[in-house]
Amino acid sequence: MDGRLVLVATPIGNLEDLSDRARRELSEAESWIVEDTRVSGRLQTVLGVKKPMRVLNEHSHPRQVAALVELARTERTALLTDAGSPAVSDPGTELVDLCLDEGIEVDAVPGPSAVTTALALAGFFAQRFVFLGFLARKPGQVSETLRPFADSTMTVVLFESPHRVDKTLEACARDLGSRRYALCRELTKMHQQVWRGTLPGLPSSTDVPRKGEFTIVVEGKRKGQDLDRTPGV
């Protein structure tokens, strides 16, 4: 069988979200390229399969990536991330780019996404949105990322850890102004929570425990909205 690379979206929390097509592709793949063998190993246990796994993450050397390109050239290979869609805010992007340049067939099995799930649950009109992933650690770099959207009607979607979510919301208030926002925590998991508020207000730790994985949705500037902000202050 000629090699090809198949991008397989995996559950972001609830294993029941794994589609029949995803199960088939993962079962038929000769090898898996994964972000973390411990996470994907649990998925193999659930599926009742045992496949060779190669690691691709932010620490992978270019030689390792090149070797994975050759693997995809000769084998039916599945690319997974720990949760959600691979190659979206994910090191797998480089592999996909190189495979396409080499003329290797690339396909994708769509599925769970924290971005679109959070957008739907937030309840904001988001015909246009921008996904910024995890923001930088330095305040100046954060402002450089956020300020272009201070007067934009696009909804902003961010990922954040529980230990930094307050700082990120404070940065959003500083650089975007008074906006409605939604904190989406532990999406599709047992303790899923969606809390809506208005910047600069923050929920207490009782209202929203600082635990688990967060997706932040900040509503775009609505037409006619008079923002109480001074950019950069």
Q: Please report, in tens digits, the pLDDT of each residue of the chain (233 residues total).
A: 589 999 999 999 999 999 999 999 999 999 999 999 999 999 999 999 999 999 999 999 999 999 999 999 999 999 999 999 999 888 899 999 999 999 999 999 999 999 999 999 999 988 899 999 999 999 999 999 999 999 999 999 999 999 999 999 999 999 999 999 999 999 999 999 999 999 999 999 999 999 999 999 999 998 765 544 433 32
Give the separation between CA 12 and CA 171, rounded to whole angstroms: 26
Q: What is the C-alpha to C-alpha distance for residues 104 and 178, in angstroms, rounded to an integer?
A: 47
Q: Which helix (DSSP H) or strand (DSSP E) does residue 146 occupy?
A: helix 139-146
Query: Which has the closest alpha carbon to 168: 157, 151, 195, 111?
Result: 157
- The per-residue pLDDT for 228 is 45
- How would you classify residue 232: left for phi > 0, otherwise alpha for psi between -120 and 50, otherwise beta? left
In 3D space, the residue among 206, 195, 148 whose CA is nearest the CA of residue 176 turns out to be 148
Residues 225 and 151: their CA atoms lie apart, in Å, by 10
178, 228 contact by CB (below 8 A): yes
pLDDT of residue 81: 94
Residue 229 has a CB neighbour count (10 Å cut-off) of 16
Q: Which amino acid is at 180?
A: R
Q: In what order do the strands lie in the sheet with 214-218?
A: 129-133, 155-160, 214-218, 180-185, 193-198
